[in-house]
Amino acid sequence: MAGRPQNRADRLDQESIVAAASWIARIRGADALTMRTLTAELQVSVGACYNHVRNRDELLDLVADDVLRQAPSLRGDVEDPWVAITTHTIGIQELLDDYPGLDTVVMRRAPNSAVSKQVRSDLVRLLLAHGISSADAQHVLRSVTWLWLGARVSLGGRPQKPSDRKHFARAMDEMIASLRQSLTHDQGDLP
């Protein structure tokens, strides 16, 4: 019977809801993530989920943030910021391949997402810590962002093929080398 409370062994909270939603998005794709599929997975009534998540849009925001948190970190003691940025960006690409359809969700929500804002801040902070000016750090951030966003758009929603991964990694390496060279030329010896 629809709307009838179901039995659940574990306590329902936002964390368990996001974990189940992330699992659904990974296995079935973001389009299959509805409040009904979520409640069926969690074995709860629809109303029980709405006590923790306002609507599907908020749920997608939470899942997108959950996925972005899994990307390699740009924090801590990093010897080579360029390697960290490359590893992080390729890590995001790989994560988005693991969650079919979530790339469009991430792209649409990234400007306002707290996790996306933190990632952008971490990238700039990392470059500043290695002697790169604020203006140049912002330029690097935009360049990296546009590369990975453009790569996702060009895929048209399909996961990367091995050849796509190879081409993206090459494009990333070439862009980083170009940025390093232009920043070194502009400011003297930088990392």
Report how far apart the first and last C-alpha atoms of the chain are (Å, whole number): 63
Structural domain count of the chain:
2
Global confidence as pTM: 0.84
Range of the domain at 109: 74-187
Residue 134 lies in a domain: yes
How far lies 39's CA from each of 1, 48, 160, in Å? Answer: 13, 8, 31
What is the CATH number for 147?
Answer: 1.10.357.10
What pLDDT shows up at residue 11?
83
Supply 59's token pair.
């749920």
How far, rounded to the nearest angstrom, does the alpha carbon of residue 114 sit from its chain's CA centroid?
11
Buried b (16+ CB within 10 A) or exposed e, 102-126: bbbbbbebbeebebbeebbebbbeb
Same domain for 46 and 100, yes or no, is no
| Tens of pLDDT, residues 17-58 | 999 999 999 999 999 999 999 999 999 998 999 999 999 999
Same domain for 92 and 39, yes or no, is no
Same domain for 78 and 47, yes or no, is no
